[in-house]
Structure 1
């Protein structure tokens, strides 16, 4: 096996581990206590040694899940805008944010505060830019009111962090609907 093949295998293993952890967090509604690393390794089809080589601690794995989720959110903007009118694209994107927020809640609870702050500062501008692109497209189409920016919407989305887990399914979608309705041009 060449060095390139080994690197390719290692990258594929890493991707499978992250996807298995993300899937488990989604299944467990972001409950970190239910995230068993040996189960993640098994689900990813790798040994525990491989998992720990890529992610020496649970915190490292959770941080990578967060980065992965954020990348998927950011990367979804252009296809959504290509397929839908801006306000519908924004609404669909915010529906994805709801799932992201569920995973993020669990990650935030598990990652030490200083590490979370570093991760947030390093990555969050990407979310601001993605949301800004959706809002700008909506304003250009006359669907989104002027005077609103990404920071306003992100502050409103902060309400998701206050929804009790037992009420998540009933309330998270309603919060997004209220936000989108408030963004519409009157």
Structure 2
């Protein structure tokens, strides 16, 4: 019989947890009051497994938010490994737009979770996302592909329009235009641009 520390058990438990989060994201974005039993059923896990991972609705909703924040943060270093810094930054901005729409879709579920937590839970912060933005901005600055001195706070203010878009509308074309404008502004005055030929630094 497999022991409790068997890697296969840990792997199965992780898959169950990720599957619950995946289903919960879809269902709670559609309806904030979706029953937890329905989420467990669609995720293909038993009630015991579900509640071992997420004892209540508040725990599930806030973990969804934390999970999304960490995913978008982790994407930054992955993109930098495969792309030039400015291209990695622009690609990451698209990921951030999708996260903004996910957050908007979960807004009511998050509000309900916080209002019923009796002050015991707090909405997770954006620190990992801010740190990821800083990583990308510094890489771009070192490469000479954006104007020097841009801070993560500057960047987050510049893209704040993303949070004004509705996930229920055709938000992608408008987000693309907004992010292209921001990216053009970041590239304007970049010291490395003088050495580029044929527009090789553009998307």
* Contact 1:87–1:144 (8 Å) recurs in 2: yes
SS in 1 for 2:124: helix
Tell me, in whole angstroms, the C-alpha distance in 2 between the residues paired with 1:169 and 1:178.
14
Q: Judge conservation of contact 1:142–1:185 (CA < 8 Å) in 2.
A: no
C-alpha RMSD of matched pairs (Å): 2.7
Which of 137, 142, 145 matches 2:144?
Answer: 142
- Displaced runs of 4+ in structure 1, greater than 6 A? 114-117
Max radius of gyration: which structure?
2
Determine helix, strand or coil for the equivalent of 1:147. coil
Report the alpha carbon displacement of residue 83 of structure 1 after superposing the two structures with TM: 1.1
Match of residue 178 from structure 2: 175
Partner of 2:109: 110
1:36 and 1:171 map into 2 onto residues whose CA distance is 34
Q: Deviations over 1:70-128 (max 9, x none)?
A: 2221211222112111110001111111111111113333223577983333xx21111
Structure 1 counterpart of 2:124, from 120, 125, 134? 120
Tell me how far 1:32 sits from its aligned partner. Answer: 3.8
**Residue 35 of structure 1, CA deviation:** 4.7
Q: TM-score, normalised by structure 2?
A: 0.75
Aligned residues of 2:85 and 2:139 also touching (Cα < 8 A)? yes
Alpha-carbon shift at residue 142 of structure 1 (Å): 1.0
In structure 1, the gaps of 5 or more residues are: none
Counterpart-to-counterpart distance in 2, 1:68 and 1:95: 18
Shift of 1:171: 1.6
Preserved contact between residue 138 and residue 144 of structure 1 (Cα < 8 Å):
yes
Unmatched segments (≥5 aa) in structure 2:
190-203
Question: Does residue 2 of structure 1 match 2:3?
Answer: yes
For residues 71-82 of structure 1, what are the structure 2 equivalents within 5 Å? 71-82=70-81
Paired residue total? 180
Inter-partner Cα distance in structure 2 for 1:58 and 1:50: 14
Give the TM-score normalised by structure 1.
0.82
